[in-house]
Structure 1
Amino acid sequence: MDSFRVMRQDDNGNRFLLAKDLDRTAAEALAAQYEARGHKQLYWVEADGPARMVVGAALLHGGRVLAARRSEPAELAGYWEFPGGKAEPGESEEQALERELAEELGVKARALHPLPGRWSVRPGLHLRIWAAELLHGEPQPLQGHSELRWVGPDELDRLAWLDHDREVLPHVAALLARG
Structure 2
Amino acid sequence: MTTSAHPSTGPAPVAIAAAMVPGPEWTLTFVLANRGVYAGHWLLPGGRVGPGESAEQAARREAAEESGVRPGPLAPTGIYDIRGRAEDGAPYRLRLHAYRALQAGTVPEGFAPDPAEVAGVCQLHPRDILPHPTDMVVLNDAGLGDYDPDLVRRLLAADGVEMEPLDAALPQ
TM-score if structure 2 supplies the norm length? 0.60
1:1-179 equivalence runs, <5 A: 13-15=4-6, 44-46=10-12, 51-62=13-24, 63-73=26-36, 76-121=38-83, 125-132=94-101, 133-134=103-104, 138=108, 140-143=111-114, 144-152=117-125, 156-170=126-140, 171-173=142-144
State the shift of 1:66 in Å: 0.6
In structure 2, relative to structure 1, the CA distance for the partners of 1:94 and 1:45 (3 Å cut) is closer
User: CA RMSD of the aligned region, Å?
Assistant: 2.9
Higher strand share goes to which structure?
A: 1
The number of residue pairs the alignment matches comes to 130
TM-score if structure 1 supplies the norm length? 0.58
Contact 2:14 2:93 survives alignment (8 Å): yes
The gaps in structure 2 that reach 5 residues or longer are 85-91, 146-172
In structure 2, relative to structure 1, the CA distance for the partners of 1:16 and 1:137 (3 Å cut) is closer
In structure 2, relative to structure 1, the CA distance for the partners of 1:145 and 1:54 (3 Å cut) is same
- Structure scoring higher RCO (CA < 8 A, sep ≥ 6) equals 2
Describe the superposition over 1:86-109 as per-residue Cα deviations: whole angstroms up to 9, x where unpaired: 111221112111222232233422
- Looking at structure 2, the residues matched to 160 and 141 of structure 1 have their Cα atoms a distance apart, in angstroms, of 22
The gaps in structure 1 that reach 5 residues or longer are 1-11, 18-42, 175-179
